[in-house]
Chains A and B, each alone.
Chain A
Amino acid sequence: MESTIIRSENFNAYFGSNHVVKNITMDIPKNNVVAVMGPSGCGKTTFLRCINRMHELIAGATAEGKMLLHDDDIYQINPILVRLKIGMVFQHPNPFPNLSIYDNVIAGYKLSGMRLSKDKRNDIVESSLTKAALWNEVKDSLHKKGTFLSGGQQQRLCIARAIAMEPEVLLLDEPTSALDPISTASIEQLLFELKKNYTLIIVTHNMQQAGRVSDKTAFFYVGELVEYDNTREMFTNPKDSRTQNYITGRFS
């Protein structure tokens, strides 16, 4: 049986008095790719940001309910430690513009004040870039700025930066929406490889992408989790009419 790595129980999130994530209970199985989809404003990105406590960084943002990593309540742990275990990749590739590719990969260690030997740093850079399927393309230009890379390569660099911290879970917020189809395909292939070692939760507007990359899919609508099922089942036989209307493009 698949073990659960993240579990949310009756989880709610607010922006001031605006209730944007409503009573979400769902289990994320380990080493799965879980897609979260839904129309704009449905709370999917907010939910994602609640998983590694990014939500609370916004003024007036609050959350309640349980969010567990294994059996530990994420909201009882130091948020810095939470973000070490639960990494995040954003919609637009955002390598640090003034840092080299090499320094981008180990930026998490530098920013959290963790000192590493040169050999250890080299190992982390090589293994992270290899896992992000970028090593062969950049191994001879590690000291060039990350911003010299193409959009797809920059996003893979951001993934390398996230996995350099050896997280257990990787959150991806529309990671390919700014990329061309070839870069998108390489990121999708990468997600398939990464799930061997990590659990991935991806917010996407691209339903075909959700279908291609994920094992399970959650459909959010006005802050509620409408349906959560195996992706193949969801895309062939959704149980809720709202899910069906959304994925078939009949949403008004």
Chain B
Amino acid sequence: MAKIEGELKLLREEVTNMWNLVHSQLTKGLTALENFDKDLAREIVMIEKRVNSAELKIDRDCEDIFAIYCPVAIDLRFLLAALKTNTNLERMGDIAEGIAKLIIDTESAFKPALLKATKVVEMYHEAIHITEEILVAFEKEDSAIARGIFKRNEFLDKINMQANELIIGYLKDHPDEINQALNLLSIIRRLERLGDQAENIAEEIIFYLEAKVIRHAKKGKLID
């Protein structure tokens, strides 16, 4: 095995570990939201520190590999993809932390009727599935799975687009719940951004595997 292969294998493991950390933040976030568990939400904020240090470590390792091995072709594409995925994962961690802080700041448990009306739990489940799927695409080096993310992300976009109207409608009947309704709207916005980060990672996986740059391409074409 060429020495660079060993280095890239370690880097791949580091990215996967970071992915698992972010995934744990997200799953804990969903439980914290559903059960209004502020302790669990605080745990997510703590995990964020580990995500940040993982990001710095991956950055440093990429820098070292660039400097020492001058990678080309598929190695270069993998390294560039890993570097950008690292940034996207860190942002996903930030999003999970942001959601956790919103849960902590919310005064009373989210009303089941509000959760149901906004479809936020459904959205959260889908966001987690997308994160899991994108990891499968990365581990199996499967660009077809990565392409599937664009279609799945449409569901998050749809709920996000409906959110304002749904929240306004709910607040007309429950004007005293403005704090938690607005916090929930913020959570929906963050989940939508989570989907965007997952799309960015999907684009990087496709770049790594197929050497195709599909950033800024029309989504419809990518889904077909």
Q: How near does chain A come to B72, taking the closest CB pair, in angstroms?
A: 5
**Are A250 and B2 in contact, with the CB atoms below 8 A?**
yes
What is the size, in residues, of chain B's interface with A at 8 Å between Cβ atoms? 12
Q: Is residue B173 within 8 Å, beta carbon to beta carbon, of the partner chain?
A: no
Q: How far is the CA of A18 from the CA of B74 in the complex (A)?
A: 35
Q: How near does chain A come to B153, taking the closest CB pair, in angstroms?
A: 27
Counting chain B CB atoms within 10 Å of each CB, which of A207, A243, A248 scores highest? A248
Q: Is residue A29 within 8 Å, beta carbon to beta carbon, of the partner chain?
A: no
Chain B interface main SS type: helix
> Which one of A207, A236, A250 lies within 8 Å of B211 (CB-CB)?
A236
Q: Is residue B4 within 8 Å, beta carbon to beta carbon, of the partner chain?
A: yes
* CB under 8 Å from chain A, chain B span 53-94: 70-77
**Are A248 and B211 in contact, with the CB atoms below 8 A?**
no
Residue interface bits B1-33, CB-to-A below 8 A is 1, else 0: 010110000000000000000000000000000
Q: How far is the CA of A191 from the CA of B74 in the complex (A)?
A: 28
Q: How far is the CA of A236 from the CA of B211 in the complex (A)?
A: 8
Chain A interface main SS type: helix
**Are A235 and B73 in contact, with the CB atoms below 8 A?**
yes
Q: Which residues of B contact A244 (CB under 8 A)?
A: 73-74
**Are A238 and B70 in contact, with the CB atoms below 8 A?**
no
Q: Which residues of A contact B5 (CB under 8 A)?
A: 250
**Contact A247:B73 (CB < 8 A) given known A236-B211, A237-B211:** yes
Q: Is residue A151 within 8 Å, beta carbon to beta carbon, of the partner chain?
A: no
Q: How far is the CA of A235 from the CA of B72 in the complex (A)?
A: 5
Q: Which residues of A contact B72 (CB under 8 A)?
A: 207, 211, 235-236, 247-248
**Are A235 and B76 in contact, with the CB atoms below 8 A?**
yes
Q: Which residues of B contact A249 (CB under 8 A)?
A: 2, 4
Q: Is residue A136 within 8 Å, beta carbon to beta carbon, of the partner chain?
A: no
**Are A248 and B70 in contact, with the CB atoms below 8 A?**
no
**Are B2 and A248 in contact, with the CB atoms below 8 A?**
yes
Q: Which residues of A contact B73 (CB under 8 A)?
A: 235-238, 243-244, 247-248
**Are A236 and B2 in contact, with the CB atoms below 8 A?**
no
**Contact A236:B76 (CB < 8 A) given known A249-B4, A250-B2, A250-B5:** yes
**Are B71 and A248 in contact, with the CB atoms below 8 A?**
yes
Q: Could you pull out 12 A-B pairs where Cβ atoms are within 8 angstroms? A: A207-B72, A236-B72, A236-B73, A236-B77, A243-B73, A244-B73, A244-B74, A247-B72, A248-B4, A248-B72, A248-B73, A249-B4
Query: With contacts A208-B70, A244-B74, A247-B73 known, what are 8 further pairs, Cβ within 8 A?
Result: A211-B72, A236-B73, A237-B73, A237-B211, A248-B73, A248-B75, A249-B4, A250-B5
B interface with A by C-beta (< 8 Å):
2, 4-5, 70-77, 211
